[in-house]
Amino acid sequence: MRKLAAEVLGTFALVFAGTGAIVVNDVSGGTVTHVGIALTFGLIVLAMIYAVGDVSGAHLNPAVTLGFFAARRFEGRWVAPYIASQCAGAMLASFALRLMFPTNATLGATRPAGDALQSFVLEAVLTFLLMFVILSVSTGSKEKGVLAGVAVGSVIALEALFAGPISGASMNPARSLAPALVAWRLDGLWVYLTAPVLGACAGFLACRCVQEPGCCCRVAQAQK
Protein backbone atom coordinates (compact mmCIF):
# COMPACT_ATOMS: atom_id res chain seq x y z
CA MET A 1 0.00 0.00 0.00
CA ARG A 2 2.95 2.33 0.58
CA LYS A 3 3.95 1.87 -3.05
CA LEU A 4 0.45 2.66 -4.32
CA ALA A 5 0.11 5.65 -2.01
CA ALA A 6 3.45 6.95 -3.29
CA GLU A 7 2.23 6.64 -6.89
CA VAL A 8 -1.00 8.47 -6.05
CA LEU A 9 0.87 11.28 -4.34
CA GLY A 10 3.60 11.52 -6.94
CA THR A 11 1.21 11.60 -9.88
CA PHE A 12 -0.99 14.11 -8.05
CA ALA A 13 2.01 16.40 -7.67
CA LEU A 14 2.99 15.96 -11.32
CA VAL A 15 -0.46 16.79 -12.70
CA PHE A 16 -1.22 19.50 -10.15
CA ALA A 17 2.04 21.37 -10.78
CA GLY A 18 2.32 20.69 -14.52
CA THR A 19 -1.23 21.30 -15.68
CA GLY A 20 -1.55 23.91 -12.94
CA ALA A 21 1.24 25.86 -14.62
CA ILE A 22 -0.73 25.75 -17.88
CA VAL A 23 -3.91 26.96 -16.16
CA VAL A 24 -2.11 29.75 -14.30
CA ASN A 25 -0.44 30.79 -17.54
CA ASP A 26 -3.88 31.02 -19.17
CA VAL A 27 -5.52 33.06 -16.42
CA SER A 28 -2.53 35.37 -15.89
CA GLY A 29 -2.06 36.39 -19.50
CA GLY A 30 0.99 34.26 -20.22
CA THR A 31 3.22 35.21 -17.29
CA VAL A 32 4.41 31.63 -16.72
CA THR A 33 5.42 31.28 -20.41
CA HIS A 34 5.95 28.13 -22.42
CA VAL A 35 9.48 27.79 -21.08
CA GLY A 36 8.18 28.04 -17.52
CA ILE A 37 5.61 25.31 -18.16
CA ALA A 38 8.23 22.97 -19.61
CA LEU A 39 10.55 23.58 -16.67
CA THR A 40 7.70 23.00 -14.22
CA PHE A 41 7.03 19.55 -15.65
CA GLY A 42 10.70 18.64 -15.59
CA LEU A 43 11.32 19.96 -12.08
CA ILE A 44 8.27 18.33 -10.48
CA VAL A 45 9.24 14.94 -11.95
CA LEU A 46 12.80 15.42 -10.70
CA ALA A 47 11.50 16.26 -7.23
CA MET A 48 9.11 13.31 -7.09
CA ILE A 49 11.79 10.85 -8.18
CA TYR A 50 13.89 11.89 -5.20
CA ALA A 51 10.83 11.99 -2.92
CA VAL A 52 9.19 8.62 -3.69
CA GLY A 53 11.70 6.82 -5.92
CA ASP A 54 12.89 4.61 -3.08
CA VAL A 55 9.30 3.64 -2.23
CA SER A 56 7.49 2.98 -5.50
CA GLY A 57 10.09 3.70 -8.16
CA ALA A 58 8.34 6.98 -9.06
CA HIS A 59 6.79 5.68 -12.27
CA LEU A 60 4.05 8.37 -12.22
CA ASN A 61 3.07 7.27 -15.70
CA PRO A 62 1.18 4.19 -17.00
CA ALA A 63 3.42 4.06 -20.07
CA VAL A 64 6.53 3.89 -17.86
CA THR A 65 4.98 1.13 -15.76
CA LEU A 66 4.20 -0.87 -18.91
CA GLY A 67 7.71 -0.19 -20.21
CA PHE A 68 9.25 -1.58 -17.02
CA PHE A 69 6.95 -4.60 -17.30
CA ALA A 70 7.97 -5.18 -20.93
CA ALA A 71 11.61 -4.99 -19.85
CA ARG A 72 10.93 -7.68 -17.23
CA ARG A 73 11.84 -5.33 -14.43
CA PHE A 74 8.34 -5.17 -12.96
CA GLU A 75 6.00 -7.89 -11.76
CA GLY A 76 2.77 -8.23 -13.73
CA ARG A 77 0.59 -8.36 -10.62
CA TRP A 78 1.53 -4.77 -9.82
CA VAL A 79 0.81 -3.28 -13.25
CA ALA A 80 -2.95 -2.72 -12.85
CA PRO A 81 -2.71 -1.36 -9.26
CA TYR A 82 0.06 1.03 -10.29
CA ILE A 83 -1.88 2.33 -13.30
CA ALA A 84 -5.05 2.71 -11.20
CA SER A 85 -3.10 4.63 -8.56
CA GLN A 86 -1.55 6.92 -11.16
CA CYS A 87 -4.92 7.68 -12.73
CA ALA A 88 -6.43 8.31 -9.27
CA GLY A 89 -3.69 10.79 -8.39
CA ALA A 90 -4.09 12.56 -11.72
CA MET A 91 -7.88 12.78 -11.31
CA LEU A 92 -7.53 14.22 -7.80
CA ALA A 93 -5.19 16.89 -9.13
CA SER A 94 -7.55 17.85 -11.95
CA PHE A 95 -10.52 18.02 -9.57
CA ALA A 96 -8.48 20.27 -7.27
CA LEU A 97 -7.65 22.57 -10.17
CA ARG A 98 -11.33 22.62 -11.23
CA LEU A 99 -12.29 23.78 -7.73
CA MET A 100 -9.74 26.59 -7.85
CA PHE A 101 -10.28 27.60 -11.49
CA PRO A 102 -13.92 26.73 -12.26
CA THR A 103 -14.06 28.82 -15.44
CA ASN A 104 -10.97 27.40 -17.12
CA ALA A 105 -12.01 25.51 -20.25
CA THR A 106 -9.29 22.87 -20.59
CA LEU A 107 -7.50 22.49 -17.22
CA GLY A 108 -4.28 21.89 -19.14
CA ALA A 109 -5.61 19.03 -21.26
CA THR A 110 -3.38 17.99 -24.17
CA ARG A 111 -4.79 18.30 -27.68
CA PRO A 112 -3.10 18.08 -31.09
CA ALA A 113 -2.31 21.52 -32.48
CA GLY A 114 -2.60 20.20 -36.02
CA ASP A 115 -3.04 16.79 -37.57
CA ALA A 116 -3.74 14.03 -35.05
CA LEU A 117 -1.37 11.62 -36.80
CA GLN A 118 1.44 14.16 -36.52
CA SER A 119 0.90 14.39 -32.76
CA PHE A 120 0.61 10.59 -32.51
CA VAL A 121 4.02 10.08 -34.09
CA LEU A 122 5.54 12.88 -32.04
CA GLU A 123 4.19 11.50 -28.75
CA ALA A 124 5.42 8.01 -29.61
CA VAL A 125 8.92 9.26 -30.39
CA LEU A 126 9.04 11.47 -27.30
CA THR A 127 8.02 8.59 -25.03
CA PHE A 128 10.47 6.29 -26.80
CA LEU A 129 13.34 8.63 -25.91
CA LEU A 130 12.04 9.11 -22.37
CA MET A 131 11.72 5.37 -21.72
CA PHE A 132 15.16 4.70 -23.15
CA VAL A 133 16.68 7.21 -20.73
CA ILE A 134 14.66 5.88 -17.77
CA LEU A 135 15.73 2.28 -18.38
CA SER A 136 19.33 3.37 -18.83
CA VAL A 137 19.62 5.30 -15.55
CA SER A 138 17.24 3.40 -13.26
CA THR A 139 17.85 0.40 -11.02
CA GLY A 140 15.46 -2.48 -11.53
CA SER A 141 11.97 -0.97 -11.72
CA LYS A 142 12.92 2.09 -9.66
CA GLU A 143 13.85 5.55 -10.84
CA LYS A 144 16.23 6.42 -8.04
CA GLY A 145 19.81 7.46 -7.47
CA VAL A 146 21.91 10.58 -7.89
CA LEU A 147 21.54 10.81 -11.67
CA ALA A 148 18.06 9.36 -12.29
CA GLY A 149 16.09 12.43 -11.21
CA VAL A 150 18.30 14.86 -13.10
CA ALA A 151 18.37 12.78 -16.28
CA VAL A 152 14.64 12.02 -16.41
CA GLY A 153 13.56 15.52 -15.37
CA SER A 154 15.88 17.06 -17.95
CA VAL A 155 14.54 14.90 -20.77
CA ILE A 156 10.94 15.77 -19.88
CA ALA A 157 11.71 19.50 -19.75
CA LEU A 158 13.67 19.33 -23.01
CA GLU A 159 10.96 17.47 -24.89
CA ALA A 160 8.25 19.78 -23.52
CA LEU A 161 10.27 22.78 -24.67
CA PHE A 162 10.36 21.85 -28.34
CA ALA A 163 7.31 19.57 -28.76
CA GLY A 164 4.82 21.17 -26.38
CA PRO A 165 3.37 23.62 -28.93
CA ILE A 166 2.52 20.77 -31.32
CA SER A 167 1.34 17.79 -29.26
CA GLY A 168 1.49 19.05 -25.68
CA ALA A 169 4.42 16.68 -24.97
CA SER A 170 2.34 14.56 -22.63
CA MET A 171 4.18 11.21 -22.81
CA ASN A 172 1.82 10.15 -20.03
CA PRO A 173 -1.70 8.69 -20.48
CA ALA A 174 -2.74 9.56 -16.90
CA ARG A 175 -1.58 13.16 -17.25
CA SER A 176 -3.73 13.56 -20.39
CA LEU A 177 -6.73 11.48 -19.30
CA ALA A 178 -7.50 13.31 -16.05
CA PRO A 179 -7.88 16.91 -17.29
CA ALA A 180 -9.65 15.67 -20.43
CA LEU A 181 -12.29 13.89 -18.34
CA VAL A 182 -12.73 16.63 -15.74
CA ALA A 183 -12.93 19.37 -18.39
CA TRP A 184 -14.76 17.03 -20.78
CA ARG A 185 -12.41 17.82 -23.67
CA LEU A 186 -12.05 14.38 -25.23
CA ASP A 187 -11.05 15.39 -28.75
CA GLY A 188 -7.74 13.75 -29.67
CA LEU A 189 -7.53 11.87 -26.38
CA TRP A 190 -6.88 8.57 -28.17
CA VAL A 191 -3.50 9.93 -29.28
CA TYR A 192 -2.32 10.33 -25.69
CA LEU A 193 -3.65 6.96 -24.52
CA THR A 194 -1.99 4.90 -27.24
CA ALA A 195 1.14 6.65 -28.56
CA PRO A 196 3.01 6.78 -25.20
CA VAL A 197 2.46 3.06 -24.64
CA LEU A 198 3.86 2.20 -28.07
CA GLY A 199 6.76 4.57 -27.52
CA ALA A 200 7.59 3.07 -24.13
CA CYS A 201 7.69 -0.45 -25.59
CA ALA A 202 9.97 0.77 -28.38
CA GLY A 203 12.21 2.38 -25.76
CA PHE A 204 12.62 -0.98 -24.06
CA LEU A 205 13.67 -2.59 -27.33
CA ALA A 206 16.20 0.18 -27.96
CA CYS A 207 17.64 -0.31 -24.49
CA ARG A 208 18.05 -4.03 -25.12
CA CYS A 209 19.85 -3.35 -28.43
CA VAL A 210 22.11 -0.52 -27.30
CA GLN A 211 23.03 -1.15 -23.69
CA GLU A 212 25.29 -3.90 -22.46
CA PRO A 213 23.76 -7.37 -21.92
CA GLY A 214 21.57 -7.41 -18.86
CA CYS A 215 20.52 -3.75 -19.06
CA CYS A 216 16.90 -4.67 -19.52
CA CYS A 217 16.99 -7.94 -17.60
CA ARG A 218 18.15 -6.92 -14.13
CA VAL A 219 14.91 -7.96 -12.52
CA ALA A 220 15.46 -11.53 -13.69
CA GLN A 221 18.94 -11.49 -12.16
CA ALA A 222 17.63 -10.00 -8.94
CA GLN A 223 14.98 -12.70 -8.63
CA LYS A 224 17.69 -15.35 -8.86
| Predicted pLDDT of residue 120 | 96
Q: What is the pLDDT of residues 68-88, one digit of tens each?
A: 998 888 888 999 999 999 999
Give the model's confidence band at 221: pLDDT under 50 very low, under 70 low, under 90 confident, else very high.
very low
Q: Provide the percentage of residues in the chain whose pLDDT is more than 70.
A: 91
Q: What is the pLDDT of residues 166-203, one digit of tens each?
A: 999 999 999 999 999 999 999 899 999 999 999 999 99
Task: Specify the amino acid at residue 104.
Answer: N
| Predicted pLDDT of residue 122 | 96
First to last CA, the chain: 25
The number of distinct structural domains making up the chain is 1
Give the model's confidence band at 148: pLDDT under 50 very low, under 70 low, under 90 confident, else very high.
confident
Helices 79-100 and 173-183: angle between axes, nearest 10 degrees: 40
Which residues have a Cβ under 8 Å from the Cβ of 12 and sit 6 or more positions away? 89, 90, 92, 93
Q: What is the pLDDT of residues 19-66, one digit of tens each?
A: 999 999 999 999 999 999 999 999 999 999 999 988 988 899 999 999
- Whichever domain contains 146, its CATH number is 1.20.1080.10
Residue 134, pLDDT above cutoff 50: yes
What is the rounded CA–CA span in Å between residue 90 and residue 176?
A: 9
Q: Provide the percentage of residues in the chain whose pLDDT is more than 90.
A: 75
| Predicted pLDDT of residue 140 | 67
| Predicted pLDDT of residue 222 | 37
Domain that holds residue 12: 2-223
Which value, in Å, is the radius of gyration of the alpha carbons in the chain? Answer: 16
pTM higher than 0.95: no
Q: Maximum CA pair distance of the chain?
A: 56
Mean pLDDT taken over the chain: 89
Give the model's confidence band at 145: pLDDT under 50 very low, under 70 low, under 90 confident, else very high.
low
Give the model's confidence band at 136: pLDDT under 50 very low, under 70 low, under 90 confident, else very high.
confident
